Amino acid sequence: MTSFRTDYLNPFHAYDEGNLSWLAAAEAEAATMSMVRRAIPYASSLEEANKIVRGNWLQAIEQHHQKYSGKLKIEDILDIGCSVGVSTRFLVDRFSSAKVTGLDLSPYFLAVAQFKEKERAQRMNPISWIHANGESTGLPCKSYDIVSLAYVLHECPRRAIVGLVKEAFRLLRPGGTIALTDNSPKSKILQELSPVLFTLMKSTEPYLDEYYLTDLEDVMKEAGFVNACTLLTDPRHRTVMGTVPR
Ligand SMILES: C[S@@+](CC[C@H](N)C(=O)[O-])C[C@H]1O[C@@H](n2cnc3c(N)ncnc32)[C@H](O)[C@@H]1O
């Protein structure tokens, strides 16, 4: 618990309190949009860039699940590290018959996520929001068909990455799919980033080196997942997926 507290309370993204602040919560959606903009610079708008990045990620998850789940219906989805709910809203829009839950460690981010949902027309399948640590959620085992972690792991030390993947394994049903999407170490754009920009990025992302040095497919296999595979889902990001054995 002590190490988790120290990791999470470290200053990053240039906020002294990391993700535990209203300012970080207020600016999180803008930060997400600038991330997708950098991934798809030719898009005609931020919304289009977001649709491309998220659309490719959702398609990869759907195809992996169809191929390996043994026709396990997608009824329950958990979005760990949902932040202010951008990834969660894309998941619920794509898998519209599923019950989707967003989970995050920051109550500030969750408050913004809930506020944004209240502003829109009510959904047939409203999103549930949970404040918890994704490494030990306390949720019942084998209760989800898809567990997604989008842009979470580059913010985590290796210890937390391993803990999050193990918890996802516990939470998924046999045939269930884990999907980790984040920066790709094989991205030509990221590899060719100027040293000044890379140093600047590292100054606000304390665990970036640990993230890049962690083999996510190996972590998945060690947790018990099979069919581990990685797709470059846009020029900057990869989606690493695996299946719980049936
Ligand atoms: C960059 S944001 C994720 C963005 C969001 N998933 C999306 O795609 O738009 C990373 C989030 O992971 C959360 N996070 C980091 N470690 C966590 C943990 N152990 N449990 C739950 N949430 C965590 C942070 O609070 C933050 O909201």
Q: How many domains does the chain have?
A: 1
Each residue's pLDDT tens digit, 169-196? 999 999 999 999 999 999 888 888 888 7
Vertex 131: Cα angle to 125 and 62 (nearest 5): 45
Q: What is the DSSP string of 146-194?
A: EEEEES-GGGS-HHHHHHHHHHHHHHEEEEEEEEEEEE-TT-HHHHTS-
- Please tell me the distance from the alpha carbon of residue 207 to that of residue 165, in angstroms, as a whole number: 17
Q: Which residues pair with residue 149 across a beta bridge?
A: 180
DSSP letter assigned to residue 218: H
Residue from 225, 116, 139, 142 nearest 180 by CA? 225
The identity of residue 96, as a single letter, is: S
From the alpha carbon of 54, which atom of ligand 1 is closest?
Answer: 8
Most distant pair of Cα atoms in the chain: their distance? 48
Cβ-in-10-Å burial (0-12, 13-18, 19+) of 126 comes to exposed
Which of 6, 38, 83, 159 to mutate for ligand 1's pocket (most ligand atoms within 8 Å of CB)? 83
Q: What confidence score (pLDDT) does residue 106 get?
A: 95
**Ligand 1: residue whose CA is nearest its atom 1:** 151
47 CA distance to ligand 1 middle (Å): 21
Q: Is there an atom of ligand 1 within 6 Å of 133 CB?
A: yes
204 CA distance to ligand 1 middle (Å): 15
**Ligand 1: residue whose CA is nearest its atom 10:** 152
Return the number of other C-beta atoms located less than 10 Å from residue 196's C-beta.
8
Q: Is there an atom of ligand 1 within 6 Å of 153 CB?
A: no
From the alpha carbon of 86, which atom of ligand 1 is closest?
Answer: 9
Q: What confidence score (pLDDT) does residue 38 get?
A: 86
Stretches where the chain sits below pLDDT 50 are 1-2
Q: Is there an atom of ligand 1 within 6 Å of 25 CB?
A: no
**Ligand 1: residue whose CA is nearest its atom 7:** 87
Residue 81 domain boundaries: 2-243
Q: Is there an atom of ligand 1 within 6 Å of 182 CB?
A: no
Q: Is there an atom of ligand 1 within 6 Å of 86 CB?
A: yes
The CATH number given to whatever domain includes residue 19 is 3.40.50.150
